[in-house]
């Protein structure tokens, strides 16, 4: 008996939505409400980036800080990748400060240069000043390690990274707020006590 060839089904397979791939549940967590200390930092970081040439696009830096706290909340720690996601948000708050794409706009290099250069009218050789920005640099490297899942360690040793715990991340989060707050405080002191005529365009006022 002669059989007719089956018609090919040219209909494209529809992509399944995320909700069809996994079960999320129906509970939606409320947004993070920053306390006074974090709220103050959020306001300062947003104000700073308004004047800094390498700004974030689409989202405010404060949204990244709130997002990090959201990802780190206890209800979200069932997510096996919560730590790297929280670290990524915090790292991106700092990324424009450390970017080498436009070296003259690398604020950390700029501050360190002014803190150690003796040729300017006002000398800034404050150990606390230099130590704060060294700590900020260390924080950035540690956050990068966590963001990239330890693929190229720069801030941790291999042993430190492997043994890094949830409580260690909580301490890192508190340290992030403390050090960044201190950096903005010192930035204000620097701006109001230093005058460098030929490079004034590189100093940003809040």
**Residue carrying structure tokens 């800094």:** 52
- pLDDT tens for 69-96 read 999 999 999 999 999 999 999 999 998 8
User: How confident is the model at residue 203, as a pLDDT?
Assistant: 40
- pLDDT tens for 35-44 read 999 999 999 9
User: How confident is the model at residue 142, as a pLDDT?
Assistant: 97
Residues of the chain with pLDDT under 70: 1-13, 53-54, 99-126, 187-206
User: How confident is the model at residue 147, as a pLDDT?
Assistant: 97
| Whole-number Å distance between alpha carbons of 77 and 74 | 5
Token output for 173: 């989060």
User: Which pTM was predicted?
Assistant: 0.76
| Whole-number Å distance between alpha carbons of 71 and 169 | 12
DSSP 102: T
Closest CA to 155 of 140, 173, 166, 136: 140
Domain borders along the chain are: 57-202
Whether 53 contacts 107, CB under 8 Å: no
Token output for 81: 């990748």
User: How confident is the model at residue 117, as a pLDDT?
Assistant: 57
């Amino acid at each position: 008996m002669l059989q007719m060839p089956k018609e090919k089904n040219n209909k494209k397979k529809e992509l399944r939505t995320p909700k069809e791939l996994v079960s999320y549940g129906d509970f939606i967590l409320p947004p993070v409400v920053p306390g006074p200390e974090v709220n103050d930092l959020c306001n300062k970081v947003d104000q700073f980036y308004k004047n800094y040439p390498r700004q974030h696009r689409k989202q405010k830096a404060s949204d990244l800080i709130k997002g990090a706290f959201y990802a780190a909340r206890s209800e979200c720690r069932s997510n096996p990748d919560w730590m790297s996601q929280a670290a990524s948000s915090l790292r991106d708050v700092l990324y424009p400060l450390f970017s080498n794409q436009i070296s003259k706009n690398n604020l950390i290099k700029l501050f360190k240069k002014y803190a150690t250069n003796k040729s300017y009218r006002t000398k800034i050789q404050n150990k606390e000043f230099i130590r704060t920005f060294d700590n900020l640099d260390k924080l950035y490297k540690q956050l990068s390690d966590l963001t990239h899942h330890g693929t190229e360690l720069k801030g941790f040793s291999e042993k430190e990274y492997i043994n890094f715990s949830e409580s260690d991340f909580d301490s890192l989060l508190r340290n992030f707020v403390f050090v960044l707050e201190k950096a903005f405080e010192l930035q204000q002191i620097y701006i109001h006590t230093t005058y460098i005529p030929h490079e004034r365009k590189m100093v940003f006022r809040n």
